[in-house]
Structure 1
Amino acid sequence: MPDPEPEENISGGESGGGRAATFDPATAGTRAEAVIDRLGDIYWTKTYGGRPAFECLVRTVLSQNTSDKASQPAHDSLMVRYGGTDPRESDLAAALAAADQQTLAETISSAGLYNQKSERIIALADDICEEFGGAAGFDEFVKNGDPDAVRDRLLEMNGVGPKTADCVLLFSGGRGGVFPVDTHVHRIARRMGLAPADADHETVREFLERDVPAEKCGFGHTAMIQFGREYCTARKPACLDDPEACPLADRCDQVGVYPASGEVVDPAEASE
């Protein structure tokens, strides 16, 4: 089940890594901030942070190369089998380090690539138990350690890329100024002209974290994903047939989108 929408339109806060954000495109300091502010008029904003770090890491691994619709049931089944009757008192890392790989693979099969993901999760659990003593120690490190050191250590872990590391920092650590870049964010930022058309994921992250205030990055990440699913899809963005159908049409460079011909290409191809 998705998180219930809050009663108030808020972002940041103590558990979200920053103060409440004001969404006003007219006063935005950069074009990227103006885009995020406009998204603040469309989507509910939320606070982030506070999720158990290892569970967040596992959840993000399960989501790799698949949809939330497929990965969420896998996460739920994993938690039922390995999370214990009271997750606050059990050690998920210890339980998964001791898990039978084939049983875990069957448990998370809805997420796809389940053999690879089950091996990866068990290896991560082993690593975390050995270095941090279990899930609680890892949680302490993620939430209170130096953000750069936490990110560097996460990236050293097998199967953890920049997006996974940044999601753990954001959703568990509640770190301000962290803007995870998934396929939607990567496409939209380049298509709109917020980052170079040929930028890789890390370069897009650098541009967004530079141009979007720290307290708005978490909301910007989730809002751009939602916007990518509803309006700025990969093959048929809303502006292709009707510019007025997109609420951000006046903020977009339409890099790689050609309404006259109906063609849509990757922004990097449009820059060639």
Structure 2
Amino acid sequence: MSDRSASSQSTDSTADEPAENISGGSDGGGAARVFEPATADTRAERVVDSLGERYWQKAYGGQDAFTCLVRTILSQNTSDVASQPAHDALIERYDSDGDDLAASLAAANRETLAETISSAGLYNQKARMIAEAAEWIVERFGSAASFDAFVTETDAETVRSELLDVRGVGPKTADCVLLFAGGRDGVFPVDTHVHRISRRMGLTPPDADHEEVREALEADVPPEKCGFGHTAMIQFGREFCSARTPACLDGPEACPLYDSCDRIGVTEETGSVVDPADAT
């Protein structure tokens, strides 16, 4: 077993959720939720229950909606570890005097904003996305507080539809706002980890796109477990089921979900790993 796998297996169900995560960790809103494993009706639910025996079990919600939107945009195409300092720097510069954050960012100098968030990568593009999202919120809702009320009080499909009309907001970003700010059960955001793992395990078709994976998981996982399933599957991807070197290459004992996985695209005998869609 590799050192990586041995270290990863030291994690247990008492572990705190990492702060370097779009969910914000233990201080990011939401509350502990307890569900009983071994009562699952679908294979996807059984996988989520297994993750619940290893990681935290949590319900989400309570984050400020605009702050969550900004944080999610910053996380696009980079790691949480890289985007967190950018988020902290942005908040310190534009939200330290108590002014409305959306109004501050709508009026911000784009070059200064880009410099502030440079650690997140693609900073010119992200600065434009954030500024335009702020302008939309000011024009459409008047303030970040009114946008927060819209996210928490309006039906989820309407919120999702309006968010998807904003430049830089894709399905994962919209779903993260619904989950972490709106506290909506039944929302299972699909990032690269969730997309890869669900197809590799055989929970969804190997050629399913992000939206098809989302629809399948939301259909097969009870609403109250979807948010936890999203964050725990990301953590499982970081610790065990990486894109190029999944733990199963070290043997069955290296992965806690080995017996639940079809390992589509992974050939243990040769060490070959391909995207499930490319597996023959």
Q: Does 1:110 align with 2:124?
A: no
Contact 2:34 2:58 (C-alpha < 8 Å) held by counterparts: no
Contact 2:266 2:272 (C-alpha < 8 Å) held by counterparts: yes
- Which residue matches 1:23? 36
1:53-202 equivalence runs, <5 A: 53-86=65-98, 90-202=99-211
Contact 1:191 1:256 (C-alpha < 8 Å) held by counterparts: yes
Unpaired stretches in structure 2, ≥5 consecutive residues: 1-17
Q: What is the SS of the residue equivalent to 2:59? A: coil
> Of the candidates 43, 53, 70, which is equivalent to residue 41 of structure 1?
53
Superposed CA RMSD: 1.6
Q: Percent identity?
A: 66
> Of the candidates 227, 239, 246, which is equivalent to residue 237 of structure 1?
246
| Inter-partner Cα distance in structure 2 for 1:246 and 1:106 | 41
- The runs of 4+ residues in structure 1 deviating greater than 2 Å are 3-6
TM-score by length of 1: 0.91
| Inter-partner Cα distance in structure 2 for 1:194 and 1:36 | 11
Contact 1:190 1:196 (C-alpha < 8 Å) held by counterparts: yes
| Inter-partner Cα distance in structure 2 for 1:109 and 1:23 | 43
| Inter-partner Cα distance in structure 1 for 2:30 and 2:258 | 33
Q: What is the SS of the residue equivalent to 2:58? A: coil
TM-score by length of 2: 0.89
Would the alpha carbon gap of residues 104 and 50 (structure 1) be closer, same or farther in structure 2, given more than 3 Å must change? same
| Inter-partner Cα distance in structure 2 for 1:84 and 1:91 | 10
| Inter-partner Cα distance in structure 2 for 1:209 and 1:195 | 11
- Which residue matches 2:13? none
| Inter-partner Cα distance in structure 2 for 1:175 and 1:254 | 31
1:237-265 Cα deviation digits (max 9, x unpaired):
00012111100001000100100111000
The CA deviation at 1:33 is 0.3
Aligned length: 258
